[in-house]
Amino acid sequence: MEHKHIYDKDGKQLCCTQEEKINQLAEKHSVEDEHQHTESQSTFRMFLPAIISLALLLIAIVFDNYITQSWFTGYIRIAWYIVAYIPVGFPVLKEAFESISKGEIFSEFLLMSIATIGAFAIGEYPEGVAVMLFYAIGEVFQTLAVKRAKANIKTLLDQRPDTVTVLQNNEAKTVKAETVNIGDIIQLKSGEKLGLDGELLSETASFNTAALTGESKPDTKQKGEIVLAGMINLNTVSQIKVTTAYKDSKLSKILELVQNATAQKAPTELFIRKFAKVYTPIVVFLAVAICVLPMLFVSDYVFRDWLYRALVFLVISCPCALVISIPLGYFGGIGAASRNGILFKGSNFLDIIANIQNVVMDKTGTLTKGVFHVQEVNIKTEFNKDEILQMVNALESQSTHPVATAIQKYVGNVNTSIQLTNVEEIAGHGLKANINGKELLVGNFKLMDKFNISYDVNTDELVYTVIAIAYDKKFAGYLTIADEIKEDAQDAVNKLHSMKVKTTMLSGDKTSVVKFIADKLGIDNAFGDLLPVDKVNKVKEIKDKNETVAFVGDGVNDAPVVALSNVGIAMGGLGSDATIETADVVIQNDEPSKIAMAINIGKQTKRIVWQNIGLAFTVKAAVLILGAGGLATMWEAVFADVGVALLAILNAIRIQRMKF
């Protein structure tokens, strides 16, 4: 009996038989339950000190205010509050001591330590414990938020299986993925994830590439094509020849790229860190001034009251809401982009791309598919059309240019009986060879001019790429070849225009072709017949107008332009290691619509970061003034510090749930 394969939503094969289905589902749920149990235990351990302190604090408050008794006084009461303080206070005191020993005297840990110890010194035991308790709870939430952001990125990208099945002497053996050598043959079953990059040996196979490109639609590969680690085999058992070591796979490089992205700080993030280092000592000295200076000007000065105001001031002024939520906002932006198949090399590029005014795009491979098709064949009547096409096909087979592929698709297999001699490629012009002692020229009309071949064609009227042909010193005719515009190219241009972003297309292709595509897509400016140095000059012209520029191309051939632009964006980054190294932003598939998405993610990230900055400064400034005037208590101070920090954190992680 034949059993149908069953797949989950990720394309993973669940079973072949009902019994296997039950066993696999049971095993799957067992692993998930164990993982969730471990996560729950870890989270509980993080909150345990706060839970103990909260319980002891609540009991103490009940004894102080609601239950009449005589024993909860004096040293017993003080000792109780000290015990309630230790679980949450000791780690902070330890951090403050370690920071001081490293030369970082004025830290948020020192502020909290001074404020809570001061509260104990003036007999405000419940408030001293409460301040440290809520600060500790805020720290746990911050830790969980950062941990979740990192886990989201790691889950999205680190799809590499630990083990793979290798064929050795026609025998399948399961080995660790990092021990597999280049040249080994991997057997990939239906539903399995590929552990290393390799070349497909099977005739055809379909893969889920969502882990790499953010696209869930299957990608069918043919024999000889490259398949990458993290792809999921969707149908038949396939064989792959390993071409790259485990540590050098595309997925490894991408994972490393995203994990290291936080090393490149955004200007706002760098400013806040510098600001905190200057701001914190100023706050400490202001707190001392609030406590001491009034004795010189206030007639009824009471040290305890002014010390309390100074302690409130210290709690309010703690910069943790800014120091934590802002980096978390940028990290969330990088994670959101990764989930959509866009890799930012640093949070600084999120800031820059949010302010982009002009997107400059290459044509082939960015807005067009780079797959050429023959559109028109115009061979003069005095020549045998089939014979000329066969000769052209034979000569073009000597080239790897996409045009050659288009001609071969149109004409068919190369006629091996045609003998080519003296084959020569003339850079920027085309190909030359001899057939039966007669000269064959195939290339652009510049090639015709170079060899003084006269022709009666108005080249300005041709909007497609033209392949001119000459045989035996006579013009034989021409072929027109066109590249296909990508399905979402129009959508990409429309979205950029809706963001008030100008669009420019630069190409080495003939100007008439470039203008035709630009007019069809509604691109603002387009220039053709450009060499790499010409592209550099065009981008310089745009930058001279004080416009920020993003250049979108392959990131390799256009390296000078990428270096010159404010942000270099590489399309189809999975195709080239050099692309990943060169560009600032890598779009993992070939969809130009992701350009607008990358800009939108940058804008949303920047908006959230500035929302947090505004929230923190507004609330803290208001409560600082109230605290200095004696109108705010420690409870308001706790909200201004911990409450604002929690709100900022929740706002920062919001970007990870946004749909773009």
Name the residues annotated as catalytic: 362
DSSP class per residue in 255-315 = HHHHHTGGGS--HHHHHHHHHHHHHHHHHHHHHHHHHHGGGGT-TT--HHHHHHHHHHHHH
Q: How many CB atoms lie within 10 A of CB 82?
A: 16
On whether the CB atoms of residues 623 and 632 are closer than 8 A, the answer is: yes
**Alpha carbon distance 238, 235 (integer Å):** 9
Among all chains, which residue has been given the structure tokens 């332009």? Answer: 561
Where is 414: in which H helix or E strand? Answer: none
DSSP class per residue in 607-630 = HHHHHHHHHHHHHHHHHHHHHHTT
Token pair listed for 150: 């990192």
Beta strands in 353-396 (DSSP E): 358-362, 368-379
Side chain identity at residue 107, one-letter code: S
Among all chains, which residue has been given the structure tokens 């001699």? Answer: 421
Token pair listed for 165: 């099945």
**Alpha carbon distance 245, 261 (integer Å):** 23
Among all chains, which residue has been given the structure tokens 């964006």? Answer: 569
Nearest to 631 by CA among 317, 320, 308: 308
Nearest to 346 by CA among 250, 253, 269: 269
Cα–Cα distance list, 585 to 353, 414, 552, 555 (Å): 9, 41, 9, 10
**Alpha carbon distance 230, 196 (integer Å):** 8
Nearest to 216 by CA among 10, 378, 460: 10
